[in-house]
Amino acid sequence: MAERDILALRSLSPAEVRRLIDRAKSGVWSSALAGKSVGLFFEKASTRTRVSFEVAITQLGGHPVFLPAQEIQLGRGETVADTARVLSRYLHALVIRTFGQDRLAEWARHATIPVINGLTDAHHPCQILADLMTIDVKKGRLAGLTLAYVGDGNNVAHSLLEGCAMMGVACRIASPAGYQPDAEVVKWAELQAGQRGTTIQIGEDPKAAVRGADVVYTDVWTSMGQETESQKRAAVFRPYQVNAELVRLAKPDAIVLHCLPAHRGEEITDDVMEGPQSAVFDQAENRLHVQRAILEMLVGNHTP
């Protein structure tokens, strides 16, 4: 196990989250990864995570090594333990995009280099760091704001709960019964929020969640690996669409976020995605800036 991994947002302290956001906002970058290589092991398709990490590694002077699951020996039966130990001899860090959080934890257990969660079914910490940066830039602060998330209580919802709670942002989640966030994550977030004088609310009413919010956030109704449930989910989540009528319940200067990819006309409408309150594409850009900050922090001074 490496000295430091980011397996979930709670792997970081609030002070570290603040430093990463400020570093990402700075726009001034070093060559901290010169002569270093970072592996990108992906078992799930990706646009933003892959490209932002590859570009970030390159801009910091490093070399990205893309490792599709079926193109290394892991796809032919080699164990995660053996693969992680071997790759630790070649690389300076690993970004893992996989399914179960337990699989990510197995990589981290056996790797002796930092492991970064590029997405699992349970958490998406790098995305939420970019989201917090976006809110901070647009609103000039984090503490004291209210974020409303409408939709599936998925990996993004889990990391939002952790990130908001750590940074003093009130978080309201509206999800249908049976699709709400994991109870353990909610409990952890409630404890953190209480220490910072803010609140976590989990409910089923999207209007109640959005009313008076500073940020309105949504995600796809069907995540990768759930495709067989897509028709059922479309029916269940239809009342949770983020449209102009729902956004009007938020504050007049509220911003709208979506981690992308978006299924326009399902969880979000075109007019909201393209409207003046949308910060969706700034949010996507900020993945690059945050990725640089993460790599600089974890890899910049690391020697295998």
- Nearest by Cα to 259 from 278, 238, 280, 282: 280
Active-site annotation holder among 131, 158, 219, 277: 219
Is 283 catalytic? The answer is: no
Is 219 catalytic? The answer is: yes
- Nearest by Cα to 14 from 102, 132, 186: 132
Q: Residue 185: CB partners within 8 Å, gap ≥ 6?
A: 158, 161, 162
- First-last CA distance in the chain: 12
Active-site annotation holder among 121, 126, 127, 258: 127
User: For residues 304 and 113, is the Cβ–Cβ distance under 8 A?
Assistant: yes
Active-site annotation holder among 50, 97, 258, 292: 97
Active-site annotation holder among 48, 123, 124, 289: 124
Is 231 catalytic? The answer is: no
Active-site annotation holder among 121, 259, 289, 291: 259
**Cross-strand pairs, 42:** 68, 97
**Other beta carbons within 10 Å of 25:** 14
Q: What secondary structure does DSSP assign to 55-116, as a single string?
A: HHHHHTT-EEEEEEGGGSGGGGT--HHHHHHHHHHH-SEEEEE-S-HHHHHHHHHH-SS-EE
Is 287 catalytic? The answer is: yes
Looking at residue 31, its amino acid is S
Helices (H), 141-279: 155-167, 183-195, 206-210, 230-237, 244-247, 270-273
Active-site annotation holder among 110, 233, 287, 292: 287
Is 302 catalytic? The answer is: no
Is 127 catalytic? The answer is: yes
Helix axes 14-26, 280-299, angle to 10 degrees: 110
- Strand arrangement, sheet containing 115-119: 63-68, 37-42, 93-97, 115-119
Catalytic residues: 97, 124, 127, 219, 259, 287
